[in-house]
Amino acid sequence: MSILGTRVVRAEDPRLLTVGGTYVDDLREPALVGAAHATFVRSPVAHARISSIDVQDAREAPGVVAVFTGRDLDISPSPPAPMVTAAMARPALATDVVRYVGEAVAVVITDERYQGEDAAELVMVDYDPLPAVVSGEDAVRGETLLFPEAGTNVAWTGGAEQLDEHLFDDCEVVVTQVIDNQRLAPAPLEVRSAACAWSDDQGQVTLWLSTQGAQAARDELQRQLGLEEGQLRVVAPDVGGGFGAKIAADPETAALCAASRRLGRPLRWVESRSENMIAMTHGRAQHQTVTIGGRRDGTVLAYRIEVLQDSGAYPRESSWLLPILTMNMASGVYAIPKVETAARSIVTNTTPLSAYRGAGRPEATAAIERAMDLFASEIGMDPAEVRRRNFVAPDAFPFQTPSGITYDSGEYAKALDTVLEAAGYPDLQEEQRRRRERGDPLQLGFGLSAYVEITAPDNAVGETGRVEVGADGSVTVYTGSSAHGQGHATAFAMLASDELGIPMDRIKVLHGDTAKIPKGAGTYGSRSLQLGGSAVHEASVEVVKRARHLAAELLEADEGDIVLDRDAGRWHVKGAPATAVSWGELAQQAEGDGGLAADSDFSEERPTFPFGVHLAVVEVDVETGAVRLVRFVSVDDAGRVVNPVLTEGQRHGGIAQGAAQALLEHMVYDADGNPQTGNLADYAFITAAELPSFELLPMETATPLNPLGVKGIGEAGTIGSTPAVQNAVVNAITHLGVRHVDMPATAQRVWAAINEAKER
């Protein structure tokens, strides 16, 4: 029986549970013995010219080895994405102008960790304040420019150049809403960290980095540091979460490597949480205007979304990738005849933006799913019914959207029905009616979200896999994918075990070391299983093929007569199981010939499109505005499931993060660009006490695009849950005249919305 699809507990857990993982700060490598500590000095102001940096006092403080400013270190600036003007390039350490609170201006190197914080306080920087650009409107107005040479604060524009005045001409009903998809802090529980050691002759350098992709980090850093290909080895030890914000390397890492080279001493850097909240990239931060129109019978005819993407102070991939993904996924699960999208990315004096779980797709889903509810409420139809009437039909796949994207497969109505049935939708409606009649202070609300998302959007980049059988019959799997909690070591071992018939405990999965895996893309965009997993699968198939050839030689039989007994993990001639050869023997046989191994570089022709339906139930205390999420029911169809334990875990985590955006989390700046939620006491990170257990329903619709039939699941939970929860909050208080509540739907906001409706 195949192990695929069964509930296998994780191989990686015993170590994590008994002694804890080995994160960068835990490394005790010989090469890091005597490593000094790096502490960055960061700007306390949002926008200013640096008139001077005085490091004298800091240099004389106890334990200080060196203090470097941007002028001391030779690092090429990070160019913005190719589509953005080069005038918006970012230096590793700010030299002339600081553009956000938290931007690094100097680095202090000390013998001991504690000395770094003491000495960093002694670096005196004179800031000549400039007006801070914080709001989107200010940025667009352009009175103050972050990069005067660029001549504008607009970093990128995309989509329709001119809006179509006639888009909604056929519609009986048109609804418009401005939606703030607020700025969030990714806040992986492990902050950013890195350690670096150069060889004595400085020809080689090893960087241990908390990253989602060692190879991409290597390429970027080699360029910034002016290194030859092959000089830099990047190793990802255990990584305590990433959520998109640890893709590749940040400027601090380049500074660390450069400082280490200057000093000829290994260095380690572990930021504090307060630094992490303002200096690690943020996510979301989209200001949207959505318009939806259709007929009173529930048919949606046209939809428009205009996106203003805040890129923060330095445009990264965020400035174009996030709005592009939002525009691509604009029409969601619906067959809407006319869809128009337009986007602009701006720079502001705030922390730079980048990917955060979902990266552009949650923003698309939040917009269309809010719009569907607004439309439903405008025509007085049940939101479930409006959705059903507009779904892309199951026989329409592959389905090309007006945005030009081709969805591979989907069963949207089935997902909706499954969720409504499990949730007891009519009972919920009844209970809501009862509470409304009673005038209960605790009102019930339920909200739906039907989503489709794109996984492995960079399908053509592909992923590498290598499967190697050792002389002892054990297996090593190498993957370019880069786990940081997802459970690759378990899933990928299952894939290899299933093909090879070798038990999982004999299979080791390696990732995140450029010396061992020179080519790889990493883990992001829910790509790991479909690309990396497919590569491991293909390599395993190839190893079996080679093994069959070797077995035929050893057993002196025809390849066609050779059988792999997967239960026993041995090879024999058909009908003669008594004379069998083991994997180890075959590997020994292949030793002279490059060993028994195979490589694969798997890419997909097109991305895949997982989908699902989420239903959230909330209770709203209408006297205080307090919201409590009481139930959460979901279908998340990500194609075939290799290990339900892992997919459920991904869904749980995603749902919680999405609910946190809907209810609690918000990275807030004041008008001068000072972050107001710069630590975990002020930033409302969701806890167990704010969440219910989740009711997950199974559903699998295979994709034809890869041999495993799998789609991505890493971000689905987040994408689906946010609008479900937001819609539920609004639904609980529509009878009081409330039409929309922006996220996060804090108690105060809900209370204010109820008051406003009363006054209207």
Partner 1 sequence: MIPAPFAYRRAGSVDEALSLLAEHGDEAKVLAGGHSLLPLMKLRLAVPEVVVDVGRLQDLSYVRDEGDAIAVGALTRHRDLETSDLLAREAPLLSHAAGFVGDPQVRHRGTLGGSLVHGDPASDLPAVVLAMGGTLVARGPRGSREIPAADFFQSLFETAMEPDELLTEVRIPKPQSRGWGFEKFNQRAIDWATVGVAVSGDQRPAIALVNMGGTPLRATAAEQALADGGSVADAAALAADGTEPPSDLSASADYRRHLARVLVRRAVEDARGRA
Partner 2 sequence: MQVTIRVNGNNTTHEIEDRLLLVHYLRDVLGLTGTNIGCDTTSCGACTVHLNGESVKSCTMLAAQADGAEVTTIEGLAGSDEMHPMQRAFRENHGLQCGFCTPGMVMAAVGLLREQANPTEEQVRSGLEGNLCRCTGYHNIVQAVLAAAKEGGAR
- Footprint of partner 2 on this chain (CB under 8 A)? 9-10, 12-14, 16-23, 25-26, 28, 113-114, 187-191, 238-241, 243, 272-274, 484-487, 645-646, 648-649, 652-657, 679-681, 685, 687-689, 691, 693-694, 717
Shortest separation between residue 123's beta carbon and partner 1, angstroms: 15
Query: Residue 448 Cβ, how far from partner 2 at the closest point, in Å?
Result: 20
Compare residues 257 and 618 and give the one whose CB is closer to partner 1.
Answer: 618
Kindly report the backbone phi and psi dihedral angles of residue 98, in degrees, each rounded to the nearest multiple of 5, phi listed first: -100, 145
- The item of partner 1, ligand FES, partner 2, none sharing an interface with residue 623, based on CB under 5 to 8 Å by kind, is partner 1
Give the angle subtended at the CA of 612 by the CAs of 610 and 615, to the nearest 5°.
Answer: 155
Rounded to 5 degrees, φ, ψ at 745 are: -80, 75
Nearer to partner 1, 152 or 274 (CB): 274
Least distance from C-beta 491 to ligand FES, angstroms?
17
Distance between CA 236 and CA 662 in Å, rounded? Answer: 32
Closer to partner 2 at the Cβ: 22 or 734? Answer: 22
Taking CB within 5 to 8 Å according to partner kind, which of ligand FES, partner 1, partner 2, none is near residue 652? partner 2
- Token readout for 409 is 């497969």
Strands 338-346 and 627-637: unpaired
Q: Which does 484 bind (CB under 5 to 8 A by kind): partner 1, ligand FES, partner 2, none?
A: partner 2
Nearer to partner 1, 400 or 748 (CB): 748
Pick the closer one to ligand FES by CB: 241 or 424: 241
Output the smallest distance, CB 20 to ligand FES, in A: 12
> Judged by CB, which is closer to partner 1: 650, or 677?
677
Q: Which is nearer to partner 2, 11 or 225 (CB)?
A: 11
CB neighbourhood size of 137 (10 A): 11
Rounded least distance, CB 679 to partner 1, Å? 8
Contact between 485 and ligand FES (CB under 6 A)? yes
17 contact choice in partner 1, partner 2, ligand FES, none (CB below 5 to 8 Å, kind-dependent): partner 2
Output DSSP code: residue 278.
H
Q: What is the C-alpha separation between 172 and 185, in angstroms, rounded?
A: 41
For the bound state, the minimum distance from the C-beta of residue 336 to partner 2, rounded and expressed in Å, comes to 32
Residue 752: name its binding partner from ligand FES, partner 2, partner 1, none (Cβ under 5 to 8 Å by kind). Answer: partner 1
- 28 interacts with, out of partner 1, partner 2, ligand FES, none, CB within 5 to 8 A per kind: partner 2
What is the pairing mode between strands 232-235 and 205-209?
A: parallel
| Cα distances (angstroms) measured from residue 190 to each of 21, 22, 40, 238, 680 | 11, 11, 18, 10, 13
Subset of residues 429 to 448 that bind ligand FES, contact rule: CB under 6 A: none
Least CB distance to ligand FES at residue 163 (A): 43
Contact 492, 533 (CB under 8 A): yes
Tell me the CA distances in angstroms from 750 to 277, 371, 743, one per residue in order.
26, 19, 10
Q: Is there binding between residue 654 and ligand FES (CB under 6 A)?
A: no
Total site size for ligand FES, rule CB under 6 A: 3
Residues 511, 521: Cα–Cα separation, whole Å: 11
**Among partner 2, partner 1, ligand FES, none, what binds residue 668 when CB lies within 5 to 8 Å by partner kind?**
partner 1
Chain centroid to CA 506: how far? 31
Q: Tell which one of 241, 394, 518, 595 touches ligand FES (CB under 6 A).
A: 241
Shortest-Cβ-distance residue relative to ligand FES:
189
Sequence-distant (≥ 6) Cβ neighbours of residue 524 within 8 angstroms: 212, 213, 242, 244, 247, 355, 359
- Amino acid identity of residue 572, one-letter, is H
Q: Which is nearer to ligand FES, 308 or 656 (CB)?
A: 656
> Which DSSP symbol is given to 420?
H
CB of 180 to partner 1, least distance (A): 17
Q: Looking at this protein, which amino acid is placed at residue 319?
A: S
Q: Which two tokens stand for residue 694?
A: 């989740």
CB 664 within 8 A of CB 182: no
* Cβ-based neighbour number of residue 670 at 10 Å: 11
Contact partner at residue 14 from partner 1, partner 2, ligand FES, none, CB < 5 to 8 Å by partner kind: partner 2
Q: How far is the CB of 126 from partner 1 (least distance, A)?
A: 21
Contact of residue 32 among partner 2, partner 1, ligand FES, none (CB under 5-8 Å per partner type): none
Backbone phi and psi for residue 287, each to the nearest 5 degrees, phi listed first: -105, 120
Provide the binding-site residues for partner 1, judged by CB under 8 A.
113-114, 117-118, 121, 272-274, 623-624, 626, 664, 668, 676-677, 682, 684, 686-687, 689-690, 746-748, 751-752
Nearest distance in Å: CB 658, partner 2:
9
What's the first-to-final CA gap in the chain, in angstroms? Answer: 65
| Distance from C-alpha of 705 to C-alpha of 409, rounded to nearest angstrom | 10
Mask 566-585, x = binds ligand FES (CB under 6 A)?
--------------------
Contact between 520 and ligand FES by CB under 6 A: the answer reads no
For residue 610, is the peptide bond before it cis, meaning its omega torsion is within 30 degrees of 0? no
Q: Distance of alpha carbon 55 from its chain centroid, rounded?
A: 38
The option from ligand FES, partner 1, partner 2, none interacting with 664 (CB < 5 to 8 A, set by class) reads: partner 1
Residue 85 contact among partner 1, partner 2, ligand FES, none, beta carbon within 5 to 8 Å by kind: none
The pair of structure tokens assigned to 94 is 């700010």
Which H/E stretch holds residue 635? Answer: strand 627-637
Residue with Cβ nearer partner 2 (224 or 661)? 661
* Calpha distance 344→289 (Å, rounded): 12
Q: Facing residues of 50 across strands? A: 127
Is residue 189 involved in binding ligand FES (CB under 6 A)? yes
Query: What is the rounded CA–CA span in Å between residue 229 and residue 82?
Result: 22
Using alpha carbons, select from 422, 482, 40, 72 the residue that is nearest to residue 238: 482
Task: Identify which of 505, 501, 525, 490 has the alpha carbon closest to the alpha carbon of residue 642.
Answer: 490
Smaller CB distance to ligand FES: residue 189 or 396? 189
- At closest approach, how far in Å is the CB of 681 from ligand FES? 10
Q: Which is nearer to partner 1, 164 or 682 (CB)?
A: 682
Nearer to partner 1, 544 or 667 (CB): 667
Are the C-beta atoms of residues 4 and 642 closer than 8 Å to each other?
A: yes
Q: How far apart are CA 548 and CA 590, in angstroms?
A: 12
Beta carbon of residue 680, minimum distance to ligand FES (angstroms, whole number): 7
Please report how close the Cβ of residue 486 comes to ligand FES at its closest, in angstroms.
10
Structure tokens at 237: 């030890």
Tokens of 11: 């191989």
CB of 512 to ligand FES, least distance (A): 17
The residue ranges that bind ligand FES (CB under 6 A) are 189, 241, 485
